[in-house]
């Protein structure tokens, strides 16, 4: 097989201090307005949005599409903070392709990886710097930052996995992570009652 330009090896450099790599192909910002439907305290979200629209997290992407393979690298950096008492978190998604897993590697900060199947089986992984989690196919996944600094994680998955946000937008995850006396606590998501 003759090699095309995209069939050659590529490396990028990760900066552990900043929690980003370069060069990247794309950087996506998810602001409060992009996530307004995800938080429980809709009134607080609306009030905040009258004044500002802060970045909750960013994603740095590199998609490695060769003649015969597709592999994606994503680094997500979630800012610390809460909306009301609910910690900043990713939107969360299922994979559009039902046979596609993913690896998440927490490289900075502390938090939780929430995972849930469409039938409502729910599992939480506690994350500290160095935790590596395998997300099996068919499990929706969301990351919550409960620390005082940024939480950064590296993701590796196939581009073919795709994203399905619909069930998560509609019903959320079965539990929410909130600050109670300065500590993380899990409460039932009222959307599911």
Residue among 61 and 186 whose Cβ is closer to ligand M6P: 61
Query: Hey, which residues does 123 pair with through a beta bridge?
Result: 115
* Residues at the site binding ligand M6P, with contacts judged by CB under 6 A: 30, 59, 74, 76, 90-93, 102, 155, 163
Residue among 8 and 150 whose Cβ is closer to ligand M6P: 150
Give the integer Cα–Cα distance in Å for 135 and 100: 9
Tokens encoding 175: 């539990």
Phi, psi for residue 32 in degrees, rounded to 5 = -55, -40
Residue among 40 and 104 whose Cβ is closer to ligand M6P: 104
Cα 114 to chain centroid distance, Å, stands at 10
Give the integer Cα–Cα distance in Å for 71 and 65: 6
Closest approach of Cβ 148 to ligand M6P, in Å? 21
Which residues 6+ apart lie within 8 Å of 148 measured at CB?
80
Touching Zn ion, residues 94-133 (CB under 5 A):
102
- The partner in contact with residue 91, picked from Zn ion, ligand M6P, none with C-beta cut-offs of 5 to 8 angstroms by kind, is ligand M6P
DSSP state letter for 135? E
Give the integer Cα–Cα distance in Å for 193 and 152: 32
- The partner in contact with residue 74, picked from Zn ion, ligand M6P, none with C-beta cut-offs of 5 to 8 angstroms by kind, is ligand M6P
Residue among 49 and 59 whose Cβ is closer to Zn ion: 59
Residue among 74 and 147 whose Cβ is closer to ligand M6P: 74
The residue of the chain with the least Cβ separation from ligand M6P equals 74
Closest approach of Cβ 182 to ligand M6P, in Å? 26
- Judge contact between 136 and 149, C-beta under 8 A: no
User: Which residues are at the interface with Zn ion (CB under 5 A)?
Assistant: 102
């Amino acid at each position: 097989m003759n090699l095309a330009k995209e069939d050659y090896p590529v490396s990028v450099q990760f900066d552990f201090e900043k929690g980003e790599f370069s060069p990247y192909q794309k950087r996506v910002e998810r602001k409060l307005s992009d996530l307004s439907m995800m938080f429980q305290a809709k009134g607080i979200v609306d009030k905040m949005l009258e004044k500002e629209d802060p970045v909750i997290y960013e994603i740095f992407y590199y998609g490695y599409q060769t003649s015969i393979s597709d592999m994606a690298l994503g680094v997500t950096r979630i800012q610390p903070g809460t909306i009301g008492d609910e910690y900043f978190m990713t939107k969360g998604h299922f994979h559009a392709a039902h046979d596609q897993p993913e690896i998440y590697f927490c490289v900075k900060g502390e938090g939780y990886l929430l995972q849930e199947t469409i039938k409502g089986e729910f599992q939480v992984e506690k994350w500290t710097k160095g935790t590596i989690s395998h997300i099996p196919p068919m499990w929706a996944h969301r990351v919550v930052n409960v620390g005082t600094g940024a939480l950064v994680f590296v993701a590796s998955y196939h581009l073919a996995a795709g994203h399905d946000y619909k069930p998560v937008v509609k019903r959320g995850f079965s539990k929410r992570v909130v600050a109670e006396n300065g500590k993380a606590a899990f409460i039932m998501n009222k959307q599911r009652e």
